[in-house]
Structure 1
Amino acid sequence: MWGFCGTLRVDWAQIPRLQDKGYPRPSYLFETGYEPLLPLTIGQLIEWAAEEYADKEALVSVKENVRWTFKQAKEKADQLAAGFLAMGLNPGDVIALWGFNSSYFYLTALAAARAGLILAKVDPSNQAPELRHCLNKVGAKLLIAAETDVTQNYYKIIHSLAPELDHCAAGQLRSVQLPELRTVVMTGDLTHPGTYHFDQIIKMATPEGNARVHEMQSSIQPDDGTIIHYTSVLETTCQPQKQRLFPNCFNPQLLNFLADVIFPTFSGPPKWSGDFRHTGYAYKCNVATSHLLLLQLLVVYTMGLQQCFHLKNLIQEVQSKQSLKKGVPESSLEETFTTIGKAMQYVEFKAVDKEGKMVPMGSPGELWVRGYIVMLGYWGDDAKTRETITADGWLKTGDQVILQENGHCRIVGRIKEAIIRGSDNIFPKEIEDLFINHPDIVDAQVFGVPDAHWGEEVCLYIRTRKGSDVTEEHLKAYCKGKVAEFRIPRYIRFLDDFPRNTTGKVDKKILKEQFLQDKEYKEVNEQILRKLIGDKD
């Protein structure tokens, strides 16, 4: 006979006998919510929203002077989806998007969902080698690209990889460097040989194609893969993920919340950066639009799944203002700034030790997550998938966290970034947070560097406020009494600015490469080595 360990909906404090016996509460959070999950696909949700909010605005693009209602967005998406099918694409095929955000990309995301296609979002800043890797890795059959933006000429880069475009008919590409790619679609005003314009795809739709799109909504499954996210491009250990995410099932409370709330205009960098900010675009977000934005901008960028908690905080904040929150107290100001929020409903979270066993509540451990938001796996890499997702569905995030009894989560650091000094583990984020609180410091970056005696030592790079005269000695004294002696940085360096990667994040790899050429660092380790050799002699 088979059995299973279930989860009782009882507060730990209500079980005094376990407390009296000294059983520690394990680091485990799970809240089921008040209604069951809905097994909807994105395509079905788009159709529902078009009927429920037919004449309400789904998209407003200021820069393009475009305004679409939910009904119009759905109709246009179905036309484009029928165009995709007319080109010979079938459910499960991969299409790629490359360029800045626009109404074209919004429409493509909706159409891909309606046609059962898998959408791969390529970073707008990618160069030719990175684009080649992204397209070939997932076998993309169609690429939709912008013309240019401030720093990129997208067509020029595509042409450098596929010069065969000059001599082929649109949709008939046979490229040596992009062997799976058959069709290139451009959204700009210019005409290029061997490519389609976006509007041409829409004009390929037929009544029979539209009918097929409608029929497909009953055959596309809620747990089909829909989104590919590239965790990294040229790193050999990082592969695209086939995401399950929101298409599996929907939180009905979130549906009601999004249906009633219209988010304000968001402004910021023109690339999709993990938040709601877009240059020149105003999104009035009701159900379908908001789910699409949350899918693309918040959850897709979450291999470590920190945004699950950020999203919960966002929802809580607005829900409390709309009197939609039930049974969960609003986060305090301290919790808002010292934690990453409360765990989402319908998702299990636990913190575990190196053996995968839950640590006591309030103790640090690796965050594991299980539920409808977890990716299906790494594209074409079963071994990596098995390494990351357990047989019973737990995704190992690699985040060292502390789960709190009130449901909040505090990030300690990334396990892979841990500095191992002797037998002690030091997490850079802990040290960075310490120095960020110093009144003279604007930013702090911590990483480990090789050490001849301890294996690794702590290196700190800081940016100080203008006019500050803080010194290395002062900063080390500042640490006294706040952290253990072994956590105090051995090396401290000052910079006016930090090198950053294409996503705007500080590039610690470059900082570390610079430091390893540091004269003082080399001399210190040479002295240690000479002493060690002398002691052995």
Structure 2
Amino acid sequence: MATATPAYAHGASPVPLLGDTVGDNLARTAARHPDRLALVSRAQGLRLTYAAFDAEVDRVARALMACGMQAGDRLGIWSPNRAEWAVLQYAAARAGVILVNINPAYRSHELEYVLRQSGCRMLVAAERFKDSDYVAMAQAARPVLEGLEHVVHLGTPSWEELLAGAEATDPEALRARSAGLDAGDPINIQYTSGTTGFPKGAMLSHHNILNNGYFVGEGCRLTERDVICVPVPYYHCFGMVMGNLAATTHGACVVLPGEGFEPGAVLEAVQSERCTALYGVPTMFISELEHPGFDGFDLSSLRTGIMAGSPCPIEVMRKVIDRMGMGEVTIAYGMTETSPVSTQTLAEDDLEHRVATVGRVHPHVEIRVADPDTGRTLARGQTGEFQTRGYSVMLGYWEDPQRTAQAIDAARWMHTGDQAVMDEDGYIRIVGRIKDMIIRGGENVYPREIEEFLHTHPDIADAQVVGVPDERFGEEAMAWVVRREGSGLSEEDVRAFCRGRLAHYKVPRYVRFCIDYPMTVTGKVQKNKLRELAAQGLAEPRTAPEAE
């Protein structure tokens, strides 16, 4: 009797892993393609060749050293997509400084936590973005943060003063600093919303993100002739790894259509810059396809791109291929803790595989589907937890060994918390989530973080947050709130409490009041029942468990 094939795959590859640091790899690319464009920031009217970009990276790296930033120190970057963000990414890496990505949507409550938990010595921030006044929030945070020595705002005299300091650092000192770095050194901390309380800082090395960016680019068949439109945010792996590092490891060009996403600006950038690749989460592609002037844009230069962040409806994929000409568009799956990509579809995969699955194992990575209770590898066709192992797995959560041990087991398997099935050909289909994570338009939202924040409201006795389906964003957050006795708290009061203190995508779209929650016999809240009640409640807005 034949035994079942294990739900395990190894991305054996004849293409070796890169062994250098991010800074050295950029220098090599700049030497090969000095006159090719590396970065175009359309909102800033800025165009940098590889030679110019590399020189600017050197200047900013020397400026960081002049400020006293040592290898291993942390530098927070809090800004929408700008050329300076990309320069800082590579400059920090060249100087051995750990870049701490801060979501531009964060408000004071979240900013203070991230700066304190990571121990940032320096914060580089924009002045403002949309309705966020970064200057005011940074000023409010600084007095309560020990160790934050420098706050610099882009486009202000403080940024110019930082750059002027580069003259105080001998280029030989920078070369010596860079030569002393190792590819295994931590170089980036990215915060992911925590299932219990506050976000966790995933600590990533040169080796992690440089190689992941390189092999994502290989999956898209990138060369130095490609021009990648990157409207996804830099603070996330999608922008800085799959965008910047995929480009610089291949000598390609990155085009920033604007500081934030705006569909018309993206379409204009693709047309004007003759972009060959376009990145985005499904909601971005939907907005571009629905733009009233869509048919007037020339998108004939497009060849490939990446859709990731949440499942893609098959009709959207068809339109992206047929109406946008992206015949080689790929789907990628991953998580911040794995740098991020573990699986990817390829250009030769048929439409069904590019929509119904998240592709097959990435080069030099191991994946499996395991029984979450026993830890044993299941057979192909069985549902279990998707796990991954290899060069891309993070070093750990910053200064949080307990949660690191919960995520990465003794055999170095990263537990994603996602439920998956591997078919006989090795394609992975994500079928659900073991955790309660909500994916809203590509943003990971963990209910526990919102719940803990809601508990700080004096009129809220208890709060439970679940995800509910949404046609545009995939999911939205719904908060089930138990009011304190005598409280007249309204739904709008709850949302107003969150606005300005939580990132906009974490603010519950729906709020329902109840007396208590459906519980298990062991006293655990049955969130699956809350989700069922939520679905009813959206159809019949006042439905709630034991509604008041």
Give the TM-score, by structure 1 length.
0.65
Cα drift, residue 407 of structure 1: 2.2
Distance across 2 between alignment mates of 1:261 and 1:504:
38
Choose the corresponding residue for 2:41, options 52, 61, 67. Answer: 61
Q: Structure 1: state its 5+ residue gaps.
A: 1-20, 163-174, 192-196, 318-329, 419-427, 430-446, 448-458, 466-497, 527-537
Q: Does 1:222 align with 2:171?
A: no
Name the structure 2 match of 1:308. Answer: 341
Which aligned pairs between 1:113-128 and structure 2 lie closer than 5 A?
113-128=93-108
Name the structure 1 match of 2:167. Answer: 206
Distance across 2 between alignment mates of 1:385 and 1:46:
31
Cα drift, residue 507 of structure 1: 6.6
Deviation per residue, 1:414-465 (Å, 9 max, x gap): 11239xxxxxxxxx99xxxxxxxxxxxxxxxxx9xxxxxxxxxxx9956689
Distance across 1 between alignment mates of 2:408 and 2:72:
23
Which aligned pairs between 1:480-495 and structure 2 lie closer than 5 A?
none
Distance across 2 between alignment mates of 1:417 and 1:232:
12
Choose the corresponding residue for 1:356, options 368, 372, 375. Answer: 375
State the identity as a percent: 24
Name the structure 1 match of 2:410. Answer: 391
What letter corresponds to residue 390 of structure 1 in structure 2? D
Cα drift, residue 31 of structure 1: 1.8
> RMSD in angstroms over aligned alpha carbons?
4.1
Greater share of strand residues, 1 or 2?
A: 2
Q: 1:199 to 1:506 in 2, by over 3 A?
A: closer
Cα drift, residue 409 of structure 1: 0.7
- Contact map agreement 1:58 1:283 (CA 8 A) in 2: no
Deviation per residue, 1:279-318 (Å, 9 max, x gap): xx99994536769999xx98998147596256x23xx32x
Name the structure 2 match of 1:92. Answer: 72
Deviation per residue, 1:26-61 (Å, 9 max, x gap): 110112111221211101111101101111110011
Q: 1:291 to 1:362 in 2, by over 3 A?
A: farther
Distance across 1 between alignment mates of 2:423 and 2:211:
26
Distance across 2 between alignment mates of 1:203 and 1:373:
37
Cα drift, residue 404 of structure 1: 1.8
Larger displacement relative to structure 2 (92-101 or 258-267): 258-267
Q: Does 1:152 align with 2:116?
A: no
- Contact map agreement 2:217 2:246 (CA 8 A) in 1: no
Name the structure 1 match of 2:400. Answer: 381
Distance across 1 between alignment mates of 2:427 and 2:75:
38
Q: 1:157 to 1:461 in 2, by over 3 A?
A: closer
Choose the corresponding residue for 2:8, options 28, 53, 68. Answer: 28
Q: 1:253 to 1:307 in 2, by over 3 A?
A: closer
Distance across 1 between alignment mates of 2:470 and 2:118:
41
Q: Does 1:265 align with 2:233?
A: no
Name the structure 1 match of 2:192. Answer: 231
Cα drift, residue 148 of structure 1: 1.1
Distance across 1 between alignment mates of 2:467 and 2:189:
36
Distance across 2 between alignment mates of 1:121 and 1:464:
29
| Secondary structure of 1:205 counterpart | helix
- Contact map agreement 1:145 1:154 (CA 8 A) in 2: yes
Q: Does 1:186 align with 2:153?
A: yes
Distance across 1 between alignment mates of 2:407 and 2:253:
26
Cα drift, residue 199 of structure 1: 2.3
How many pairs are equivalent?
398
Name the structure 2 match of 1:371. Answer: 390
What letter corresponds to residue 409 of structure 1 in structure 2? I
Q: Does 1:287 align with 2:258?
A: no
- Contact map agreement 2:418 2:430 (CA 8 A) in 1: yes
Cα drift, residue 107 of structure 1: 0.9
Q: 1:254 to 1:275 in 2, by over 3 A?
A: closer
Q: Does 1:48 align with 2:28?
A: yes
- Contact map agreement 1:95 1:117 (CA 8 A) in 2: yes
Distance across 2 between alignment mates of 1:22 and 1:242:
43
Distance across 2 between alignment mates of 1:208 and 1:274:
31
- Contact map agreement 2:216 2:246 (CA 8 A) in 1: no
Distance across 1 between alignment mates of 2:148 and 2:467:
46
- Contact map agreement 1:100 1:271 (CA 8 A) in 2: yes
Cα drift, residue 223 of structure 1: 1.0
Distance across 2 between alignment mates of 1:509 and 1:69:
44
What letter corresponds to residue 342 of structure 1 in structure 2? R
Q: 1:519 to 1:503 in 2, by over 3 A?
A: closer
Q: Does 1:335 align with 2:297?
A: no
Name the structure 2 match of 1:243. Answer: 204
Distance across 1 between alignment mates of 2:468 and 2:86:
40
| Secondary structure of 2:435 counterpart | helix
| Secondary structure of 1:204 counterpart | helix
Q: Structure 2: state its 5+ residue gaps.
A: 256-278, 280-307, 310-331, 440-446, 448-465, 473-494, 515-532
